[in-house]
Structure 1
Amino acid sequence: MVGRHHRSPAPRRATSHTARRALAPFGVASAALLAAAPLAGAAPAAPQQPPQADPPPCSDAADVCVDLSEEQAWLTDDGRATSGPMAITSGSDEDPTPTGEFTVQRKERHHVSREFGRAPMPWSVFFDDEGRAFHSGSRASTSHGCIRLDKDDARDVFTALEPGDQVEIVR
């Protein structure tokens, strides 16, 4: 059948006959004693919980949250991170990335900058009227106000966001 997953049959459990044979060297009395012996002082182990990360520093309305001072971004849903933190690079002092609330305007998978020497800006998600976007690119230097991400993170942001989604950038 196409598209269906098939499970392997579950391993067979030992039958009572097999279990009795395995315990035979210990004798019936020893087996009964082992089965009835309480575990002295043993308390059930508490389940291990992963450490709780701090929630992203944006409002519950944000679909993507950017913290410029921490150089991180998260995809979010109702204030909870669904992806991230992702390392980012943002604008310079001369060309800063603005803070505030923005709306995704458009997306371009293979955008090339006309303003900055035909620089490639793959996985672009534009969020303001000045041409700023999330996009893939080198994080070794500052941008001209865009949010640069590693390739896989930029692709994830591009895939997750749609025009009209909320962008929140804080410092």
Structure 2
Amino acid sequence: MGRSRVRLLWTALAGALAAVLLISGCGSQSSGGGGTGGGAQAQAPAAKVHLEPGGGGDVNPAAPVKVSVERGKLDDVALTNGDGKEVEGELAADGLSWTAGEQLGYGKTYTWSGEATGTDGQSVPVQGSFTTVSPAKTVRATVNPTDHTEVGVAMPISVKFDQPVTDKAAAERALQVRPSVPVEGAWAWLSDKQVDWRPKEYWPAGTQVEVDANLYGVHYGEGEYGRSDLTTKFSVGRSQIVKADASTHQMIVEQDGKQIASYPASYGKDHDPELNTPNGTYMVMQKNPVEIMDNPRYGYTDVEKKWAVRMSNHGEFIHENEENRANLGKVNTSHGCINLSEADAKAYFDGALIGDPIEVTGAVTTMEPRFDVFDWMIDWEQWQQKSAL
């Protein structure tokens, strides 16, 4: 009898426990995903969208602008500015990314919109906004040589800014030179507003050159940013070098390593350092069929000279001077220019290219490297030291 009662008691307890478990199980099922009990939560969407830029302010407008998705595909994407205009962009064929096709503006707010579908079939929104930086000032730049020009073998590449650049390294990093053949060269800051690139030696004849100045969005310091990108493509012509030895009273022209002309010339006065044609490597800067020359200090104004080739902003030219014909090839009597006969001056003028080098030797003075264009009056080691990088 005692054992039967114990067995009955355990049977009752087991039944009660089963009832409790059954009630507990029914309660969990009825609460579903929306209950506060311990049931499973709704599964998160599989797709994950990445925005570049993702949000915030002071975004650089030149930064990458892109949307990508993991575990899914983009259905549509739009990036809209504050005026409601959509930024041009392209959705990749595989639906995994969208990339902007135009630059963003300074000081604007942009809003992302669109949708992606995950591998689980669930939709995920493309959403967010950001604001681009507002510069204290945008700085304009120019590049020379300009597109589709043919230049001489001494021609430097010059980038000039309309404001002084504080962060020169940032600006220089944005500049790229791509010659068609290997050419060693370097950038050098000649002032706070000008940086030039020149080869170590003269350009090889026939070189094709492309320059990219990706300056838009570059922070030059003190809240100033680049206004726009610049590009140029130019070609280097034949190699023509003027060998101007003042002591010989001749001006020799060499083309592709061979002498093609020797003109009787008169250089600046030997005995007066103020009137010398100073030693130095110049280049053809400008060509004018007629140049008006003034130097009141030496008693002349509004004097017309033909076939004038400017070689320095200090005031030196190669030009015709028929009034000095008796001294050509014999005596140096000019005020610093290289005088030729009219026929010889025209012959040289017609064959000269902007950027041709003019190497002056034999004078009693040497030109200081401070009058444009003085790139070749600085030796290569000094030139490299002028880089900001």
Assess same fold via TM > 0.5. Answer: yes
Give the CA deviation at 1:62: 5.5
1:101-140: CA deviation from partner (whole Å, max 9, x where unpaired): 1111101101111223222221000101212100000243
Runs (4+) of structure 1 exceeding 2 A deviation are: none
**Does the 8 Å CA contact 1:62/1:167 hold for their aligned counterparts?**
no
Task: Work out the CA distance in 2 between the residues paired with 1:62 and 1:161.
Answer: 8
2:293 paired residue among 108, 113, 123? 113
Q: Which one-letter code corresponds to 1:132 in the other structure?
A: E
Task: Work out the CA distance in 1 between the residues paired with 2:240 and 2:246.
Answer: 15
SS at match of 1:119: strand
Task: Work out the CA distance in 2 between the residues paired with 1:152 and 1:62.
Answer: 19
Instruction: Provide the identity percentage.
Output: 27
Matched, 1:91 2:282: no
Task: Work out the CA distance in 2 between the residues paired with 1:79 and 1:101.
Answer: 17
Task: Work out the CA distance in 2 between the residues paired with 1:67 and 1:146.
Answer: 13
2:280 paired residue among 84, 100, 104? 100
Task: Work out the CA distance in 2 between the residues paired with 1:78 and 1:66.
Answer: 17
Q: 2:129 is matched with which residue?
A: none
Alignment of 1:1-171 (within 5 A): 63-83=241-261, 85-92=262-269, 93-94=271-272, 95-115=275-295, 116-137=300-321, 138-139=324-325, 140=327, 142-171=333-362
Task: Work out the CA distance in 1 between the residues paired with 2:316 and 2:241.
Answer: 17
SS at match of 2:344: helix
Give the CA deviation at 1:160: 1.1
Aligned residues: 112
Q: Structure 2, unaligned stretches of length 5 or more? A: 1-201, 203-238, 363-389
**Does the 8 Å CA contact 1:63/1:161 hold for their aligned counterparts?**
no
Task: Work out the CA distance in 1 between the residues paired with 2:265 and 2:294.
Answer: 23
SS at match of 1:89: coil
Q: Radius of gyration: which is bigger?
A: 2
Q: Which one-letter code corresponds to 1:133 in the other structure?
A: F
Task: Work out the CA distance in 2 between the residues paired with 1:166 and 1:75.
Answer: 10
Q: Which one-letter code corresponds to 1:108 in the other structure?
A: N
**Does the 8 Å CA contact 1:62/1:168 hold for their aligned counterparts?**
no
Q: 1:32 is matched with which residue?
A: none
**Does the 8 Å CA contact 1:101/1:168 hold for their aligned counterparts?**
yes
Task: Work out the CA distance in 1 between the residues paired with 2:256 and 2:285.
Answer: 21
Larger fraction in strand: 2
RMSD, aligned α-carbons:
2.0
Q: Which one-letter code corresponds to 1:145 in the other structure?
A: G
Q: Structure 1, unaligned stretches of length 5 or more? A: 1-58
Q: Quick one: higher RCO (CA 8 Å, sep 6+), 1 or 2? A: 1
